Amino acid sequence: KIFTANPNEHWDIGSRIDGFITHLLTFRAVNIIDIRPLESTVSGLFYHKGNITNLSHLDDSVESLSCLHTMEHIGLGRYGDPIDPLGYLKGMNELQRVLKPGGKLYFSVPIGQERVEFNAHRVFNPMTILKTFSSLNLVEFVAVNAAGDLMSSVQPEDFKDVRYACGIFIFQKSSSNEASL
């Protein structure tokens, strides 16, 4: 999807370097933000130390942003972030705030019956995701069910009562022209 969209610049917050980011680097430079230190000499990979709950240096400026399997950990202290029961909400609010008009957010989290699995991660009711990202437009939703099947002809609400699945959401911020209509 990012290859097809061909943004001028792509930012990522917290996704796996040895997975998703490596794939992106085959065709695009990537700016990554993470609280964990990274020493790398990989061409096209630009590290910025930061916290997803405070991205004030990126106000309404990001054209393309990914955050894959990160938000479920925010605020639980597992990866060195401060314990904050509302950390995930602060992080999601920051993601939508930093997108520029027309910008896209590629976002994935565990979905199903909402809960915290000790300090490992959260599982989100997909309706919580839609409600929290209410200032963005949902462009596409796909899910991976517990059996590992990619399901593309589904709706987020189809997964609110499952035990565990992966929700992959693509959101877009309204362009300034759309917002004024």
The predicted-structure confidence for 117-166, as pLDDT tens digits, reads as follows 988 999 999 999 999 999 999 999 999 999 999 999 999 999 999 999 99
**What's the pLDDT band for 177 if we cut at 50, 70, 90?**
low
- From residue 21, how far is each of 7, 45, 64, 65, 131 by CA, in Å? 15, 9, 13, 12, 28
Token representation of residue 92: 């999601």
Nearest to 95 by CA among 46, 135, 142, 128: 135
**pLDDT value at position 118?**
86
> Do the beta carbons of residue 50 and residue 65 sit within 8 Å?
no
Percent of the chain having pLDDT more than 90? 83
- From residue 6, how far is each of 63, 66, 157 by CA, in Å? 10, 14, 30
State the average pLDDT over residues 56-64. Answer: 92
Dist CA 156 CA 82 (whole Å): 30
Predicted TM-score of the model (pTM):
0.94
Strand ranges, E, within the chain: 10-13, 30-34, 45-49, 62-68, 99-111, 115-117, 121-123, 136-144, 150-151, 165-173
**pLDDT value at position 161?**
96
| Sequence-separated contacts (24+) of 44-50 with Cβ below 8 Å | 45/17, 45/21, 50/13
**pLDDT value at position 181?**
47
**What's the pLDDT band for 180 if we cut at 50, 70, 90?**
very low
Residue 106 has pLDDT above 60, yes or no: yes
